[in-house]
Chain A
């Protein structure tokens, strides 16, 4: 990370890579490294995509003075847009499912964004449908960023996340693992890593079931598949049960001092599966995965805050 910057948005990316020693203690020949995306200014991996999406829309003239950026998001992208928008003076409108965690609503609200809620029963796909409808009704007011199909989402990772990992591992990386939400992180990073070394095994992680609790990840067989998703960039998909991801998230806090979100838990759980496989095959490895955000973004409401707003 830069230690000094002229603009807040210059602080996005260049996040540290940390070795996970205790959760990986049973795998002496496998290094597991995690990219600390919670170190970004708005606290998640999504800062990278938001910065590039907004910068390119301003540069290309799609986002003009007087217009608002509109997108659907279940949280972190919204927080990232809110930060970048505030820092660059771009007004933001977000469509979120009503059951996103209360802290997410509060954080985006603090940055001054306009929030519109979609049905709590329909998940992120319900938010996508509503955002599309709003954008079609008011093309003069809204520029629809559409993180699910915007090529600048994976490109952000192609140009930043992948070269950073390559440099931080000095080209030693053997496996890259990341969960699939919009798929921007895993597709963009994997595409570039494969160019740098086609032997790197790039693995996507999806929840094992449509009904899941790995917030931020998408179960593609039951979802609207993001147009940016390119399966050819991946060597494999690991299907992650919610409980396994949650358990590893708890271990990361207790054993490593890394209090991270459930999707980060799911990513590290997948890394542990790969490490197990390598150990059983008696092979060494340098496995890199993503810690998407901090766990404090998911605190359940306290009892006196129990009235959900929807």
Chain B
């Protein structure tokens, strides 16, 4: 099981939960499992072609998946996966 950390704007899909536990060996599998437990959340994170949206960052531990293997980045048991949006304004 990996722990997914959910940002505030997406917590309406997780009944307010800040963290969700899911199974999956890659980010792609983790996102598919997350969609199962929080329907509707995946299309907010990924575009129509399935790629992570440009303004969404996903981290395994403190590694940005863009610097790993993107959707194929490996997720191990006990890993923490963070979904981090760009800053919501006010400067």
Residues of A that sit less than 8 Å from B by CB: 44, 46, 72-78, 97, 99-100, 120-126, 128, 147-148, 179-182, 207, 209-219, 222-223, 226, 242-243, 246, 262-263, 303, 306-308, 310
Contact = CB atoms under 8 A, between A and B. Distances in A.
B53 to A, nearest CB: 8
Interface of B: 5-10, 18, 44, 53-57, 59, 62-64, 67, 82, 84-91
Given A72-B90, A213-B85, 4 more contacts: A124-B89, A210-B88, A216-B89, A223-B88
A212 B54 contact: no
B88 A121 contact: no
6 contacts: A77-B91, A121-B5, A209-B9, A212-B86, A303-B67, A310-B62
B48 to A, nearest CB: 11
Nearest to A307: B62
Chain A: interface secondary structure?
loop
Given A99-B57, A120-B82, A181 B89 contact: yes
A77 B18 CA distance: 29
A218 B54 contact: no
A211 B87 contact: no
Contacts of A44: 91
A207 B90 CA distance: 12
A131 B65 CA distance: 31
Nearest to B63: A306
